[in-house]
Structure 1
């Protein structure tokens, strides 16, 4: 299936929800609008934490801070959640509602790059479980990863090697891609049932390159698996790589590095990135992932101003 953004909603079954007469009468958005409405700007709860020992805010605090700073929405980092009890999930929904922000994304971790079928199944089960959490939270999209070979001693070592690590002895990238494709295919029935679009991120491992991400997305060929585009995970010559993923992107994570990056810093041209995404008709959320050393209280508002200016009409 050659899925274009214009046909995405139809392919996902959303068009059936609109009254037929209204749908037929509605003019093309490009023809009816005098300009670009701008992308809604969200912030990941990760931005307030960044895995720093002394700054882990609760999701409730992140929602409050996000609304106070002027964001449109909040992306939730799953491992930052303090509970998965139904009451906790519903309180988060209510907290967002009374603050006037949306819960727009759930960011999860999983790894399918393993020759051990039991390890892969454990990650499949975890992914399906978090899809169901997203559904309970009313979140429409969830970030997923390929996982990586795991031959680096630590994430710091992986970053020191620019995200590149050796394969497991005796295995090839083709083996890894096969495991990832098979595993994600098993997650898609839950995604479709729950109405949660999975976004495969360019996030190290087999997703370190746009070609790797698209190899998986194209092989599975489902409207329920598209791309989450992270602006900060292509460490060299990012713009052409970002554009390769843009046509199938349903969610954007935008990095900033005030005070110097935790692992590295990139000088990203956000007006250029925004213009490129407009060319590909991207109307969706842009979610800040602040990853710098400066205190979040000053760095996140500066990041919001930067993104608001770049992605506004």
Structure 2
């Protein structure tokens, strides 16, 4: 039987309470400061730029050379899904001393067409199984969006806001997304892959939208991926609303100017906020600037190490 997220949290709290009843000398000592491990998304090298389409293998080698702790794989950047290819990636990361710590995927459930939603459900289940084969413990997922923007450039010009499909409401969209994730949860639980719903346009444009879905599904296998660069206004209060449910952080930098926009993000402030919420997981760099990745990614790593490490 599946356990709800709230029940899971209650069990964890009760277990922690038992530990507190008989503290040892070590347990009463001040807790050490958390050092978050720093990963890099393969997107940081690729960025959908025609002159920068590195293979996953090249990204792993570069991440090791630069001194990262892990690699987050962008699914659509993968050149194959054959079992042999997956295992070679896993071995390459292992030999380089890196974790494959995340899989970043795309799906969209905001559609009145049940067949479209089912296609995206099937795709998400398939990518969970890929994450399992790669030994990856968490996978970024999206709500999807209404699709009424002409293209992504238009969406960005409108600060991520787009009109609803005529004749439908946000409540309709949330119902579709919640129903889809409820159908996906058994596979996530079976494979041991924690899904992180990202603040990533569509119904995930606000922390309230993300948390509405996470709370409704109420499974420990659906939590939050926190993207520092996807709240374009007043980011800090919004990031903090999601922090208690966050299992993975994607940290944007924009050296050379952003591909679509730039934000001046205060990473020491963000790191302090996450420490208040006892976040101990990975921080994965998503470099999204125009500067050459060879110089921008090492600078970004130094920035994140200074804030989080």
TM, length-normalised to structure 1? 0.92
Q: CA deviation at 1:112?
A: 0.1
Q: Summarize the alignment of residues 116-195 of structure 1 with structure 2, pairs less than 5 Å apart.
A: 116-195=113-192
CA distance in 2, matches of 1:166, 1:67: 43
Q: CA deviation at 1:28?
A: 11
Whether 1:67 aligns to 2:64 is yes
Q: How many residues align?
A: 302
CA distance in 1, matches of 2:205, 2:248: 17
Change over 3 Å in CA distance of 1:119–1:28 after alignment to 2: farther
Q: SS of the counterpart of 1:200?
A: strand
CA deviations 1:137-157 (Å, max 9, x no partner) are 000000000000000000000
CA distance in 2, matches of 1:243, 1:26: 31
Structure 1, unpaired ranges of 5+: 16-21
Asked whether the equivalents of residues 39 and 72 of structure 2 are also in contact (C-alpha less than 8 Å), the reply is yes
Q: Runs in 1 of length 4+ with deviation above 3 angstroms?
A: 1-4, 6-11, 24-34
Whether 1:92 aligns to 2:110 is no
Structure 1 residue aligned with 2:292: 295
CA distance in 2, matches of 1:227, 1:127: 16
Asked whether the equivalents of residues 121 and 183 of structure 2 are also in contact (C-alpha less than 8 Å), the reply is yes
CA deviations 1:228-263 (Å, max 9, x no partner) are 000000000000000000000000000000000000
CA distance in 1, matches of 2:244, 2:25: 19
Asked whether the equivalents of residues 8 and 223 of structure 1 are also in contact (C-alpha less than 8 Å), the reply is no
Change over 3 Å in CA distance of 1:31–1:295 after alignment to 2: farther
Structure 1 residue aligned with 2:265: 268
Q: Summarize the alignment of residues 274-285 of structure 1 with structure 2, pairs less than 5 Å apart.
A: 274-285=271-282
Q: SS of the counterpart of 2:189?
A: helix
Q: CA deviation at 1:291?
A: 0.1
Q: SS of the counterpart of 1:253?
A: strand
CA deviations 1:97-154 (Å, max 9, x no partner) are 0000000000000000000000000000000000000000000000000000000000
Structure 2, unpaired ranges of 5+: none
Change over 3 Å in CA distance of 1:45–1:172 after alignment to 2: same
CA deviations 1:164-189 (Å, max 9, x no partner) are 00000000000000000000111100
Q: SS of the counterpart of 1:199?
A: strand
Match of residue 45, structure 1, among 42, 65, 78 = 42
TM, length-normalised to structure 2? 0.93
Question: In terms of mean alpha carbon deviation, does 27-36 or 123-132 score higher?
Answer: 27-36
Change over 3 Å in CA distance of 1:271–1:122 after alignment to 2: same
